[in-house]
Amino acid sequence: MKLIRAIISTDHIDELRLKLFENGAPGLTIDSVMGIGKPLGQLSYSDDKGFVPKFFSNSRIEIVVEDKRVEEICAIIIDVCRTGNVGDGKIFIQPVDEVIRIRTGEKQEKALY
């Protein structure tokens, strides 16, 4: 299993939520984050420090799926979130060793759906 963690514009969260569930996403978590991409493209001026990298507010969405669904889920994220402008976001993918549904004790893929 893999954790798909995408940093995206908050503007796309509602459309993405609908598309993901239309396509059978097992669940998801979102939160609000602040971050910096390629800093040279995103500077703000402060009187004491001159030009410094600027924080941008984004949403972070996390979805755990079986390995075979990673490509499909990433394609949905890219389809919804790509405008072609800088700051469209980034996707990070990490291995997940274990999933446990607390209510039933089910494990691994059984616990996802």
Ligand X SMILES: Nc1ncnc2c1ncn2[C@@H]1O[C@H](COP(=O)(O)OP(=O)(O)OP(=O)(O)O)[C@@H](O)[C@H]1O
Binding site for Mg ion (CB under 5 A): 37-38, 86-87
Using the rule CB under 6 A, is 40 a contact of ligand X?
no
From the list ligand X, Mg ion, none, pick the one residue 1 interacts with, judged by a Cβ distance below 5 to 8 Å according to partner type.
Answer: none
For residue 79, the minimal CB distance to ligand X (Å) is: 16
Q: Are 4 and 93 in contact (CB under 8 A)?
A: yes
C-beta closer to ligand X: residue 1 or 7: 7
From the list ligand X, Mg ion, none, pick the one residue 7 interacts with, judged by a Cβ distance below 5 to 8 Å according to partner type.
Answer: ligand X
Tokens of 25: 């996403």
Beta strands in 1-113 (DSSP E): 2-8, 29-35, 43-46, 50-53, 56-65, 90-95
Residues 57-86 that bind ligand X (CB under 6 A): 58, 86
The CA-CA-CA angle for residues 6, 36, 17, to 5°, reads 25
